[in-house]
Structures are given as C-alpha cells and as structure tokens.
Amino acid sequence: MLKSPATHSSTTPLASNDETSKATKSRSDFWLNAKDKYYAWIFLGPSLLILGVFIFYPMLKTLYLSLFLTNTVGKPTVFVGLANYINLLTSADYLNSLAVTMVYVLAVTAITIVLGLVLANFASKQLAGIGIFRTLFSATMGVSVSVAAIFWLFIFNPSTGFLSLVSTWLHLPQIGWLTDPTWAMVAVIITTVWMNLGFTFLILLGAMQSVPTTLYEAASIEGATPRYQLFHITIPMISPTLFFVSIITLIEGFKSFGLIDLMTKGGPTNATNMLVYRIYKDAFYSGNYAQASAESLILTVIIAIFTLIQFKVLEKRVNY
Amino acid sequence: MSISLRNVRKDYDSQTEVLKDVSADVQTGEFFVIVGPSGCGKSTLLRMIAGLTPITDGDVLINDKVVNDLPPKARKLTMVFQNYALYPFQTVWDNVAFGLKARKLNQSDIQHRVDHALEMVNLTEFSKRKPRELSGGQRQRVALARAVASDAEICLMDEPLSNLDAQLRIKMRQEIYNLQRKLGLTLIYVTHDQVEAMTMADHIMVLNDQHVQQIGTPSDIYQHPANEFVAQFFGTPQINILPAKRSSENDHLLTIASDDIEIALNEAVPVAELRVGVRPDQLRVSRTDSVESNAVVKNTEFLGDETIVYATLNSGDNIRAVISGQVSFRAYEPIKVTIGSNLLFFNNQGQRIALSKEEVVHA
C-alpha cells in the first residue's frame, strides 16, 4: 500500500525526463535494479516509519473510530456508520461551536493581516531608531501561549486589571471581559491577534524590504502619493507573502486550543467553545472518543476547504 | 526647460564627501551626458537633480527657479532607471499608465497618451504582456515609453543601457538619441561608458574623484582634454602618457621616455619636466634591426581594418599603437617607434599645458 506512491514519485520524474541521455538513463536503471531498490527502501524507511506511526496511523484510526460507538477507554463497540456525523451536524451545540470558530478565525486572520501590514509599513521606513520598533513589534514571537494568556488575564481582570482601571478612571461602564459572552470572544480575539502579530509583522516586513526601492522612486517622481504607492506597489509586490501569512494565520486560528483552555475554557455559555477545544473536552472529559474523532475529521475537511478557497480566490490576485 | 547646478556639494554624515563644487548649465533640448568611472558620484548627482537625494550645499535650478526643497513630483521630470523599475504584476500598458493614473488624469487622456507612447517605442503589439515576458531591450523601451507618456520636458537616465548586451546597446543608443531629438527633451544621461557619451552627447560632463574634470562637446573633450584623467578616459585604445624632459642644449627639443624618442617643438618647451600624451593612432611603428630599435613588441591584436601593437620602450614604458591594416610583428621583435604630429602636454600635476601653436612638432 505504501509501496506504490513511494516508487512512483521517485521514478516518474526521471522516466519522463527523456530529453537526455546517458545520465538520465543510467539513473532510471538504478531505480529499476532490484538490488538498488533495496537501498532505496532503507533510505526511505525512517521517514516512512515516522510518518506512518505519527501521521498515517492516527489519521486512519480516527476515521475508523468515527464510524463506531466507543466505550470509556476508547475501544470501538458498535458500528454506526455516519451516525456520529449526522448527530453532530444536527446538534445546535456543535453548530454553535462551528459558528464561533468561524467568527474567531475570520476576525483573527483579518485583524492580524491588517495590523501586521500597518506596522510593517511603518517599520519599513528608514528612520532613526527604527530598529527598536522593529524589535518591539516582533517581540510577541518569543512569547509562549501560556505567558500570553496569563499576561492578558491580568489585563482583563475585572477588579485589578488595567482595562478595568482605565474604565473606572474614564467613568465608563465596566466590561466583563471574560464573563460576558460577546466580550469574551473579543478578549480571545485580541489576545490571539497580539500573539500572531509578531510573526506576521516580521514576515511582512521582510517582504516589504525586498521590494526594489527604484519602484518607489520611479513612482514618487511620477507623482504617486505614499498611500497610492502602498496600495499599488507594496501590496501587489508582497501579495505572495500576504497569501502565505493569511493561510498560516487561518490554519493556526482553527487549531487554537491553549489560549482558550487557559483563558475561558470554552465559556461563558460556550461562547468561545472552539472546535479543537470541543474535541479535547469530548474526548478527554466526556470520554466520547467516537464523536471527538468525527469532529476531528470535520475540522480537517473545513481547513482543507478554506485552504482550497484561498488558493482559488487569491491565486488570481497573487503575483509570483 | 533648462537645468543649472550651482556649486552643488554632497556629503554623507558631514564626513564622506561624494561631490564637491559641481556647477553646470544644461540648455533646453540638450542631450547632456554625465560620465565617469564607478563611484565618482554621477548617479548621486542625477538623483539630486531628481530630488531623490537631498543636496548638502549649493543650488539646483530648473528653469531658473531654485528647486532644492521641491519633492520629486513637483520638479516635472521623468527618470529611467538602470533596472527599468517596471512593475512586474502589471501589463506593459498599465506600467506606462502608472504615473498618469497616480496623478488621476482622465481616462481618455491616459488612453491617448499611453497608446501614443507605446507607438513611439514600437511596443503597441506588446501592450498586454507582463514585463517578464519581454526581452531586455523591450523592457528598456517600456521604461522609455513611460518617460514619453509623462509629457515632462526633462528626462533623467541612470545608466539605462548597462543591463543590455553589446549589440542591443548600440541599437537602443540610437533609439534613445532619436527619441530625444524627436521630442525635444532636455535629457541628462548618466553612464560609465565613454562610447555612449561620445556618440550621443551635445555636452559631456566628466566626473572623477568627487570633482568635475571637464565640461565640453565630445570633440572638445577628445581633442583638448583638461587633464590626464580625461585624456585617458576617452578613446580606445587608451592614450599613451609618457614622461618627457626639455633638452638641456636646445629648449625646443623634447626627449620622451628617457631618450627613446626625441622631438622638436615649434616653440620653447615651457617646463623642464612634463608628460606627453600621444593617441595610439599618432604613433608610427616600423621594423628595424636591434641597434636602431627603441622598443620591443609584446603582442598584437588584429581587429580587421587595423591592428593594435602593444610594445615596451627601452625605458620600460608600455605603449599602444594603432596601425592600419594587418601587420605581422612577432613578440620580442625589435621595432622603431616614432611620434606623429598631434600631441598633448601635461604638467606633473596632470593638468594640460596648452601651447600657443596647435601643430607642435617638426616631423
């Protein structure tokens, strides 16, 4: 089963490359030689083993489990076909999770990209002391999820938190950052964006600095304002990077777990009960491994669909 | 649109001086070439005219108005860059239209000007292509079309041909020249290539070592170089510069390269020690026996209609001579080198000494 893709991927490019000659030919002979094939498997072996144990087997096992009912230790008991999936997709609770995850992921991706772009655009200017800002803007890259969560929990704290103090000082109504369902979502989004920003900023800054300066010089001679240059030179020129960053942020958003666990535990009233957090609770709190498996596969399909859409829609607008 | 530079100076961090005291006048419709070796500050000078680099001191005037503090777009000029500065994600047409759209001209005006500009540079049929689908020469023409479409009367070009191969460079040289004449552009053109400077310029500014060495017409610069640097920069093969002394017995007599060559001038030699510049085509080379000879051949280069002879004088000075037609000197063959009538004289500081009579030599 594993044999055919491996041999194909190694022989096809060589065999199809028939424009020359001795080198190619002797190399395809190499692959056809039975004894050398043995060597090939030795070299491929370790990675196939690791992928098999940690990727292929869990994936197949998940698919398998999702078609059964399981007992509390995760052993399959009764085959139920697609019942797990049907249950999930008709459950208001699950659909809520789906909805809040969408809101969260889309908001996080959009805000991260826009803020990253704004910061990178500032930091790409050659100004005195700009290095300090570049370091500060990218600093969150070195912060772990747990530290970020605790840090923001302090800020959001209803009695001693910074935001609460500011509200008091300005005589504004107090916001229950982590206790109000709407604001809890906002709080989680803010924290995630803050976490993502360092990486996004750094990648976008790198892309901006690789745009040839003569493009801007030519544009400024021809009368293009800085704003016009941003939208008509910078953004088109860094579009491959924007594309990359948006996909990474989106996928990371769907996979968000640690922050939710530390900040809201999916609450209040499931307002931040994201898909991955839900899988975790279903599997390891409720012991419902079958349903958790089905949820995992649905999540995989959702991420795949989003990635495909991004490729289809954005690829036309991306200039490589 | 005329351009004037008044005592322009540029330094970085008040320390590294790149240009000192540059003054020049460029008339309307003139093809003005700034030439010099790499690192002489010629691109910096161009960028200062464009307003991309601030000037440290002095004034830049466009149409007799000081523009030192005007941003690039207010100077009403265009610039063609060495790497063409094309937007890779836009078609040829959109590249040419870029500046016009940025300035928010109306649609029909943009259409008209872009089409006209593309026609001028013969790129109409390529208007839908992306820059990466064009050859180097075509990309260069897109950059030219952009300059044409902008309608500015001043055009600055920064080594526009140096990314092209030799054949194409000659072709584009003519195209740029024709375009400049047709549109009556005031063109300031930066290059390190003396051939480009000689063939296209109305006036040449020679820059070296942060200073203007000379400004003049191509023939002026070739025939009356201000100093040794200018003399050596123009003309291939390079001019021969040889040490010379006034003879102690006769002040009209000049001995060149120790006493390998001796010539008599029409007037007294003004200084005791000087340096003589001889263009390679002013040297005569003849076969002789080793007693009569004053040089030996190192090697020769046959170029078709002429041959370059590289030789070493007995004094150890190396010379280059251009002989018409094919001559077959072997290496280490003894030869007799004599000098024709057109000479240049430089003092020990390398400045040219002008003598009162043009033709200075008794043959």
Task: Give the pLDDT of residue A320.
Answer: 54
Residue B233 has pLDDT above 70, yes or no: yes
Helical (H) or strand (E) element with B155: strand B154-158
Q: In angstroms, rounded to a whole number, what is the distance separating the alpha carbons of residues B255 and B252?
A: 10
Average pLDDT over residues A234-242: 90
Among B227, B223, B220, smallest CA distance to B204 is for B220
What is the maximum alpha-carbon separation in chain A? 83
We find that the CATH architecture of domain B3-232 is 3-Layer(aba) Sandwich (3.40)
Task: Give the pLDDT of residue B17.
Answer: 86
| Local structure of A299: helix, strand or coil | helix
Q: In angstroms, rounded to a whole number, what is the distance separating the alpha carbons of residues B226 and A314?
A: 61
Q: Where do the domains of chain B lie?
A: 3-232, 238-362
Chain-wide mean pLDDT for chain A?
83
Residue with the bigger pLDDT between A161 and B95: it is: B95
DSSP B202: S
Q: In angstroms, rounded to a whole number, what is the distance separating the alpha carbons of residues A70 and A77?
A: 5
Tell me the per-residue pLDDT of A113-163, one tens digit each, with 9 for 90 and over.
999 999 999 888 877 888 888 888 888 888 888 899 998 988 888 878 888
The answer to whether residue A225 neighbours chain B at the CB level (below 8 Å) is yes
Instruction: Look up tokens 């191509």; give the residue.
Output: B218
Is A220–B52 a contact, with Cβ atoms under 8 angstroms apart? yes
Task: Give the pLDDT of residue A76.
Answer: 82
User: For residue B71, which residues of chain A lie inside 8 Å, CB to CB?
Assistant: 220
Task: Give the pLDDT of residue A7.
Answer: 40
Residue with the bigger pLDDT between A163 and B225: it is: B225
Residue A6 has pLDDT above 70, yes or no: no
User: For residue B85, which residues of chain A lie inside 8 Å, CB to CB?
Assistant: 212, 214-215, 217-218
* pLDDT grade for B362, boundaries at 50, 70 and 90: low
Is B83–A228 a contact, with Cβ atoms under 8 angstroms apart? no
Q: Which residues pair with B295 in a beta bridge?
A: B313, B335
CB A295 within 8 A of CB A85: no
Is B89–A215 a contact, with Cβ atoms under 8 angstroms apart? no
User: For residue A319, which residues of chain B lie inside 8 Å, CB to CB?
Assistant: 88-89
CB B189 within 8 A of CB B80: no
Average pLDDT over residues B132-151: 89
Task: Give the pLDDT of residue A71.
Answer: 83
Task: Give the pLDDT of residue A3.
Answer: 39
Q: Which of A210, A213, A214, A221 to mutate to test the interface with B (most CBs of B within 10 A)?
A: A221
What is the percent of chain A with per-residue pLDDT over 90, rounded to a whole number? 34
Chain-wide mean pLDDT for chain B?
89
Is A214–B103 a contact, with Cβ atoms under 8 angstroms apart? no
Residue with the bigger pLDDT between B230 and A25: it is: B230
Could you tell me which chain A residue has the CA closest to the CA of B91?
Answer: A319
Is A232–B52 a contact, with Cβ atoms under 8 angstroms apart? no
Rounded to the nearest angstrom, the gap between the alpha carbon of residue A95 and the centroid of all alpha carbons in its chain is: 21
Residue B60: count of CB within 10 angstroms of its CB: 23
Q: In angstroms, rounded to a whole number, what is the distance separating the alpha carbons of residues B31 and B3?
A: 12
Average pLDDT over residues B107-125: 91
Q: In angstroms, rounded to a whole number, what is the distance separating the alpha carbons of residues B114 and B93?
A: 7
Please give the CATH topology (third level) of the domain spanning B238-362. OB fold (Dihydrolipoamide Acetyltransferase, E2P) (2.40.50)
Average pLDDT over residues A37-51: 90
CB B238 within 8 A of CB B229: no
* ipTM computed for the complex: 0.83
Of the candidate ranges A25-39, A60-74, A129-143, A250-264, the one whose mean pLDDT is the lowest: A25-39
Which two three-digit tokens encode residue A226? Answer: 């800085």
Average pLDDT over residues A290-317: 86
On the question of a common fold for B3-232 and B238-362, the answer reads no
Tell me the per-residue pLDDT of B235-259, one tens digit each, with 9 for 90 and over.
889 999 999 888 887 887 888 887 7
A232: Cβ contacts below 8 Å, ≥ 6 apart: A219, A224, B98, B102
Task: Give the pLDDT of residue A5.
Answer: 40
Of the candidate ranges A121-135, A257-271, A304-318, the one whose mean pLDDT is the lowest: A304-318
Task: Give the pLDDT of residue B324.
Answer: 86
The answer to whether residue B76 neighbours chain A at the CB level (below 8 Å) is no
Tell me the per-residue pLDDT of A158-190, one tens digit each, with 9 for 90 and over.
878 888 888 888 877 777 788 888 888 999 999
Is B52–A217 a contact, with Cβ atoms under 8 angstroms apart? yes
User: For residue B81, which residues of chain A lie inside 8 Å, CB to CB?
Assistant: 214, 217-218
Q: What are the two backbone dihedrals, phi and then psi, of residue A314, each rounded to the nearest 5 degrees?
A: -80, -30
The answer to whether residue A232 neighbours chain B at the CB level (below 8 Å) is yes
Task: Give the pLDDT of residue A4.
Answer: 40
Residue A112 has pLDDT above 70, yes or no: yes
Tell me the per-residue pLDDT of B60-84, one tens digit each, with 9 for 90 and over.
999 989 999 899 988 889 999 988 9
Which two three-digit tokens encode residue B81? Answer: 């860059």
Q: Which residues pair with B155 in a beta bridge?
A: B78, B187
